[in-house]
Structure 1
Amino acid sequence: MKQERIFQVLRSPHVSEKSSVQSEAANQVVFEVAKDANKHEIAEAVASLFDVKVVGVTTLNVKSKQKRFRGQAGTRSGWKKAYVTLAEGDEIDFLDGAGQ
């Protein structure tokens, strides 16, 4: 996979309370990914970018939401989320040194 496509597939890590619980309990990391990315591309991108072994990938589409702002109707855009299961002993820490 080309380096350009890796950065297109992986948009950003999704850091939330649920994702931090998943990382501790099931050794999973959560990413926001491109809508056209498939599981094989996501696994290859994570493995090459972070030098870890990927065991499995689960994806889901987060649906868009209808919102109102100052009486005007609008829509938040939907996005795709990927739960990446890492091999035993591998770890990706996005908040390394954040509390210091």
Structure 2
Amino acid sequence: MKDYRDIIIKPVISERSMDLLNEDKYTFIVDKKANKSEIKTAIEKIFKVRVEKVRTINVKGKPKRMGRFEGKKPDRKKAIVTLKSGDKIRIFEGM
């Protein structure tokens, strides 16, 4: 099993993810090979909160161009984590 800090890559800061904070839902970019139970235990161990539900989304990378060179952004996996009522993650407070 991987280290918990290798599973959670970074939080997602967007307008939609900020709207989900009112419903105790937090969005993270996670390792592409991580499953829901690994994500749940990683969030609980790192942030000391209780996780109620985890939803995952595989996001395909968009095609990009720089002049005549073509490429694409890398694929990634997002996880929307619902916490039990009363629990908060401090890195999202004040945004």
Residue 41 (structure 1) aligns with:
38
Distance across 1 between alignment mates of 2:54 and 2:94: 27
8 Å CA contact retained: 2:9, 2:31:
yes
8 Å CA contact retained: 2:5, 2:46:
no
Task: Quote how far apart the aligned CAs of 1:15 are.
Answer: 1.0
Describe the shift of the 1:28–1:48 C-alpha distance in structure 2 as closer, same or farther (beyond 3 A). same
Root-mean-square deviation (Å): 1.6
Residue 59 (structure 1) aligns with:
56
Structure 1 stretches of 4+ with a deviation exceeding 6 A read none
Between the two proteins, the alignment pairs up a number of residues equal to 95
After TM superposition, the score normalised by the length of structure 1 is 0.88
Give the alignment partner of residue 72 of structure 1, picking from 53, 66, 69.
69
Give the alignment partner of residue 17 of structure 1, picking from 1, 10, 15.
15
What SS does the aligned partner of 1:94 have? Answer: helix
User: Any unmatched runs of 5+ in structure 2?
Assistant: none
Distance across 2 between alignment mates of 1:63 and 1:31: 16
What SS does the aligned partner of 2:32 have? Answer: coil
User: Any unmatched runs of 5+ in structure 1?
Assistant: none
Task: Quote how far apart the aligned CAs of 1:63 are.
Answer: 0.5
Distance across 1 between alignment mates of 2:8 and 2:76: 12
Aligned-pair identity in percent equals 38
2:29 is the counterpart of 1:28: no
Distance across 1 between alignment mates of 2:16 and 2:90: 15
8 Å CA contact retained: 2:8, 2:39:
yes
Task: Quote how far apart the aligned CAs of 1:22 are.
Answer: 0.3
